[in-house]
Structure 1
């Protein structure tokens, strides 16, 4: 946890130093040859340019952990980010037909001085970080399960799995929740266990949203992403978080930017539905249920109550049928129009869910009397992302009751496709297509 916090502060320091370099560099350029129309508002113009640079830099991985320890990587990425910013600047100038009034001397002087300052401060930061922390800034945890503790564990936190009752139990969501809570403050998890349990640990780590590795003397049937090493011992890299820092930030910004205005706009509807539910049947307005979230951690999902309070299904072991007598009159209407899902916008605000992602399932959900994870062990992999209100499976029509194994297999396949091919543009596309399936024949 300490190392992760150090890395975060170092990244923030790098952002601040980049801003200073841009302000000083382009400020010097403007002093040489003032820009027409901007002399009274230079600070605001530079701030706008720095903001654009920061956005491009994040997408160029200019603030990745590798940039804190490698001067070459850091200088290369920041040069690309500055180049992208200047390209965008010239496109705007060209579009405004102001190419003849922009002093080339000011732009060139500002660009040269800013680039020089960026390269110098980036090199110095990388040198200082390597000297103080070495080349490894990841927060590591070593989980020892039934094996002898190594003589040298480096800087990794060491956990004795047997001592705390931690097991790679694929049929026990509560054990997975325990592991998820343990790993949430780490970037890399290394598991040292007997050969018989390596495959189980590999399966569990794939949904943990960290870089997961299993220490092995030989390559087993663990479907590794790569071969790594830890203090001289070979490892199989079996999992990596699907989204980097910039991607997670972009996805979170999209969630907030859309959720806040949506909640404000839908407030009258939410109040009307709440009143209708209260008058229609006795019980609470909201239905809360434990679901499996990112990193296999449990959270409580919010929905408008659509069933009689004394006949609800707390663990979701029974799928809702078309003529289900548990559903109230108002409940049937709001389920048919997907209005019952709207309170999940609060889960999005809390950071427990995203607008787009794999749908979270109740612990008791089954298909042909088998739990979803028993139908396909890849089910756990989908939890490397935050669950979503909508997703790729939903817009393809894979929703409603899971009566057969094929019902859940199609959803898992779509969720894994989304996980491995994520992009912000795809999220926007899924949201737009969701409006076409708000009312569907499988909603009851």
Structure 2
């Protein structure tokens, strides 16, 4: 997630949108004499006024077209060439929009030169405002030292050094480097990786962290991501030259240097998050009221009769953005010292008799609906991993895919689970396919897909899965 930084610069985008809409509507009133036609195409009086109709038409299609073309997505690292490219694209699209309206109303006799003058003046004003705001902010950063981002760079590779040089030389970008950290004895670095966390926790007001991801362990990546999430700090990744492209993370270019950041996936936009959260709460309450209300006391008796110990077992897992939380299960093991970093294997003698049934039917997972109510998990999503497994798994697969997987809440059930990739990891193919299905789910999420996964999970509860033991 990209956090907005700065006191007032975030107001610039809505100001430009409002200014552009005023320009295209005011100039239309001046150049187009729509009311010369006496023909009525609509029964409502206000729609017979072609100025009002054109205003609604132009405003809606302007907002839609600029959204698709990302016309207002201009950042401090956006080049002037890219800005002119956006302007040219929008000129072409809006020209089609205007002539489509004029063509639809053949009764309106607007001279072609009037439409052309209208378009030229519109984009003269819009381009001027866009360039003034762009270069005005650059001057503000260069000469007045305002609108500055406080950053640290983590890494010693070529990409990290190139980024440091870019930020140092291009003052107009507005990046102030507060430290460069790497595991090296070279005196040019502020400190090592461990020192960077001390520096961050001292409250130095860092806005962005740039990490050379391939130089870091999975634990270090986790720690940076968790810090960024808690402190509303943006985290971005510097790839090595042989990994410039990745479909999982968003790629921006600072000059010619690619920088990766966590994308805002469809599942995480505000509307979809709200829809999924409402569904999660309703579904979790149904399970708790209709199933757990009577299943819990029954299992309490059965579990206690077979072995001593608590009814529930809780263990730490990684959630969204690597946040740690306690995941709940019905206890299926005898009370003995857990061997760290081990999944239950087939015919494991730690599993109780009632535990075998619970694990075969996945009923041991049902207490996780309490995690859903606490907003730590979702009903459907990637299954949460043990902390001890996170580092091991990341060594077997691409780090970018692994980070992408932790971009959403984990689920009680998931696509990988119903496809058989659950439980014990016997070989590298198991974890690679698990991540593949998890990422497919994130990229292709819909309520219909959630329903399909839940339906298949319910079938598995009654039929069991050979991987469930």
Match of 2:342 among 277, 300, 318: 318
Name 1:34's counterpart in structure 2.
none
1:181 paired with 2:226, answer yes
CA drift at 1:242: 2.0
Q: Give SS of 1:309's match.
A: coil
Q: Is the 8 A contact 2:3 2:234 kept in 1?
A: no
**Structure 1 stretches of 5 or more lacking a match?**
11-64, 76-103, 193-197, 200-218
1:372 paired with 2:396, answer no
Q: Is the 8 A contact 1:347 1:353 kept in 2?
A: yes
Name 2:373's counterpart in structure 1.
349
1:409 paired with 2:432, answer yes
Q: Whole-Å Cα distance in 1 between the matches of residues 137 and 226 of structure 2?
A: 28
Q: Whole-Å Cα distance in 2 between the matches of residues 68 and 278 of structure 1?
A: 65
Name the TM-score, length of structure 2 as normaliser. 0.56
Name 1:290's counterpart in structure 2.
316
CA drift at 1:191: 5.0
Q: Whole-Å Cα distance in 2 between the matches of residues 249 and 412 of structure 1?
A: 25
Name 1:164's counterpart in structure 2.
196
Q: Deviations over 1:39-83 (max 9, x none)?
A: xxxxxxxxxxxxxxxxxxxxxxxxxx97686348999xxxxxxxx
Q: Whole-Å Cα distance in 2 between the matches of residues 356 and 298 of structure 1?
A: 18
Q: Whole-Å Cα distance in 2 between the matches of residues 343 and 73 of structure 1?
A: 53
1:242 paired with 2:265, answer yes
Name 2:304's counterpart in structure 1.
278
Q: Is the 8 A contact 2:235 2:261 kept in 1?
A: no
**Structure 2 stretches of 5 or more lacking a match?**
23-42, 64-71, 73-125, 127-131, 139-146, 182-191, 199-210
CA drift at 1:435: 1.0
Q: Is the 8 A contact 2:382 2:410 kept in 1?
A: yes
Q: Give SS of 1:180's match.
A: helix
Name 1:83's counterpart in structure 2.
none
Q: Is the 8 A contact 2:380 2:454 kept in 1?
A: yes
Q: Deviations over 1:125-153 (max 9, x none)?
A: x99xx99x989xx9977331255584447
1:143 paired with 2:168, answer no
Name the TM-score, length of structure 1 as normaliser. 0.59
Q: Whole-Å Cα distance in 1 between the matches of residues 385 and 15 of structure 2?
A: 39
Q: Whole-Å Cα distance in 1 between the matches of residues 466 and 222 of structure 2?
A: 34
Q: Whole-Å Cα distance in 1 between the matches of residues 424 and 275 of structure 2?
A: 33
* Higher Cα Rg, which structure: 2
CA drift at 1:399: 2.2
Q: Is the 8 A contact 2:236 2:261 kept in 1?
A: no
Name 2:442's counterpart in structure 1.
419
CA drift at 1:176: 3.1
CA drift at 1:416: 2.0
Identify the range of structure 1 (164-173 vs 290-299) with the bigger mean alpha-carbon deviation: 164-173
- Figure out how many residues of one structure are paired with residues of the other and give that number: 327
Query: What is the root-mean-square deviation of aligned Cα atoms in Å?
Result: 4.7
